[in-house]
Structure 1
Amino acid sequence: MERLPLNALLVFVTAARAQNMTRAAERLHLTVSALSHQVRLLEQRTGCTLFLRGPRGLKLTAEGACLLEKVAPHLDAIELALRPLTLRRHTALSLSALPSMASSWLVPRLPRFVALRPDLELNLDSSIERVDFADGRFDAALRYGLGEWEGLHSELLFEEWLTPVASPALFTDRARPRLDQLGQWPLLCEDDPWPRWFEQFGGEAPARFGVTFSDSETLQRATLEGMGISLGRATMARPLIESGRLMGLFPERMKARYAHYLVYPDRSREHAGFKAFREWLLAEAESFRATEQDAVSVESNTGAKKAPRARLARALTRITPGDP
């Protein structure tokens, strides 16, 4: 009797839920090629096309949707039945972090933790999807929000600040704008509170924004390409400003509505690996907060340049907190 394609079914369900081959491959620790191969095997076995592949990801066919409906509950039941029988290894730690936070802040610091705890197996998932700790896949997450996640512990890492940033290429043929001239330039928007910026720092808001983006990573990429000026998150923009790829246009900064938090379920408090990571992470966040107090705007087109202390003091007096 031919063996049931259980592995291919698991791959199929994961891809169907992720609606994206790359994300599904990351979750299963497979290459995209290996994942696609498993899907093809299942399609050959069933004689049906299960996915329609497009530029925006995967879309289930009618046959694929029917298979997902019938198979997924049984795979979930198997996982649920096995979970109490599986001892959680305290030498393995699974984390989730937003891609922007992971690439700009966590990953550059992570080698220090790995050197501190080489015995710990660390698994990092970069995703914008909300973590469901009930499925047991993750021990903790780094999230950007108000700090209110029902049923979970959340600890503040640091506040986020917004300031206008742009590529030096934007000013090849034009002088940099004054603070009250920002509305005359192409302003890029995600969900950035430009109206609140103009209310606090003056100037006239434009009738419309140049381009609006759905996520901060794409917004930052557009800023790097010289499409316009954006309200950059200090956490993401700072490494790019220090490397000269972006410019901080003014010393004024505005406190964002959201902040960065470490979020975790109650069960993680007994996880030895998580305890070590939490202690290290909070120390790194405290150090980062201290350096942020000394951060200055970059005024050179070619790289970072520190301002005198007197000017720094004046700049800090102009930092205006936003809404809680």
Structure 2
Amino acid sequence: MSRLPLDQVDAFVTAARLGNLTRAAERMNLTVSALSHRMRLLEQRLGRKLLARGPRGVDLTPDGQRLFDAIASPLATIEQALQQATVRSDTAVTLSLIPSMATAWLVPRLPAFLARHPELALNLQSSIHVVDFEREPVDLALRLGGGRWAGVQAERLFDESIAPMASPALVERLGTPAPDRLGEWPLLGDPADRWKDWFTRFGGQPPARYVAQFDDTETLHQAAVQGMGVALARWTLAEPLVRAGRLVPLTGERMPAGFGHYLVYPARSLAHPGFATVRAWLLEQAGHAPRPAATP
């Protein structure tokens, strides 16, 4: 063989690890067609089929599994060595978070941060995928969950809560419901079906059916903005819509969502001067006094 096709090997290993071509392409900043092209070239080069498409993604063929077992570990060692050898700027910090959190919570606060710290360059990676600190040059991330993740330090920023909200037009048309009559309103089904918990906690009867059912929180909120019905909205994401007058809380009550927002980072970030500044600012924005960072 001639030149070693590292770009094709990387495409194969990434797709094999994730089991999904779309996610692998996003991880590599490629289009799916470009990733597929690299895979075809590698398979043609070896004369073997390495991946097989399945109902939920891609699976390794027996030949693919043998190749993956042989090269995945050495490739990971090379990636780790390159990452450790990379010279990173003390004034550039990379933060990963989901798009909805970036839009609703972080971006509105960024102008004040940048004005206070013009010496820092804050790079945002907005993605629904959980960052892999072992493979990606990311310094810290915002995550949703219970606060326990292996290999990282997790600091709670704040807990999430939910509350029923509707558009001003719907409230003007139907009035403000009594808490125990909320089930008579047109309700929008939420991703986790938390309406049952809401009625158990605050009283009233759930409706026989929802006006519409959604599996995405942002789409649910936008449906409420358009007047389709009442959403059991996540407060952190809905607060900008409330401030803009596009959603109206129907009660002063809130219910814990059962998860929180956390700042997470690997031990290597503690040696980064810019990380300390961004971390302290995030804790400040979440209402906490900055405190010394702890080693995982």
Would you call these one fold, judging by a TM-score over 0.5? yes
Query: Does structure 1 retain, via aligned residues, the 8 Å contact 2:147–2:154?
Result: yes
Query: Does structure 1 retain, via aligned residues, the 8 Å contact 2:188–2:220?
Result: no
Q: Does 1:165 align with 2:151?
A: no
Q: Which residue of 1 aligns with 2:292?
A: none
Name the stretch that deviates more: 272-281 or 114-123.
114-123
- The answer for unaligned runs of 5 or more in structure 2 is 289-296
Instruction: For 1:53 and 1:220, locate their aligned partners in 2 and report how far apart those are by CA, in whole Å.
Output: 33
Query: Does structure 2 retain, via aligned residues, the 8 Å contact 1:189–1:211?
Result: no
TM alignment of 1:111-130, pairs within 5 A: 111-130=111-130
CA shift for structure 1 position 92: 3.3
| TM-score (structure 2 length as normaliser) | 0.75
Q: Which residue of 2 aligns with 1:237?
A: 238
Q: Which residue of 2 aligns with 1:3?
A: 3
Query: Does structure 2 retain, via aligned residues, the 8 Å contact 1:94–1:122?
Result: yes
SS in 2 for 1:125: strand
Distance 1:34 1:132, change over 3 A: closer
TM alignment of 1:184-223, pairs within 5 A: 184=184, 185-206=186-207, 213-223=214-224
Query: Does structure 2 retain, via aligned residues, the 8 Å contact 1:164–1:231?
Result: yes
Instruction: For 2:41 and 2:169, locate their aligned partners in 1 and report how far apart those are by CA, in whole Å.
Output: 49
TM alignment of 1:276-287, pairs within 5 A: 276-286=277-287
Q: Which residue of 2 aligns with 1:93?
A: 93
CA shift for structure 1 position 151: 5.3
SS in 1 for 2:260: strand
Q: Does 1:264 align with 2:275?
A: no
Percent of pairs identical after alignment? 51
Distance 1:155 1:77, change over 3 A: closer
Query: Does structure 2 retain, via aligned residues, the 8 Å contact 1:188–1:228?
Result: no
SS in 2 for 1:142: strand
Query: Does structure 1 retain, via aligned residues, the 8 Å contact 2:21–2:58?
Result: no
SS in 2 for 1:286: coil
RMSD: 3.7
SS in 2 for 1:281: helix
Query: Does structure 1 retain, via aligned residues, the 8 Å contact 2:181–2:204?
Result: yes
Query: Does structure 2 retain, via aligned residues, the 8 Å contact 1:50–1:63?
Result: no
Instruction: For 1:178 and 1:68, locate their aligned partners in 2 and report how far apart those are by CA, in whole Å.
Output: 60
Query: Does structure 1 retain, via aligned residues, the 8 Å contact 2:188–2:214?
Result: no
- The answer for unaligned runs of 5 or more in structure 1 is 288-324
Query: Does structure 2 retain, via aligned residues, the 8 Å contact 1:192–1:231?
Result: no
TM alignment of 1:68-87, pairs within 5 A: 68-87=68-87
Q: Which residue of 2 aligns with 1:147?
A: 147
SS in 2 for 1:251: coil
SS in 2 for 1:154: strand
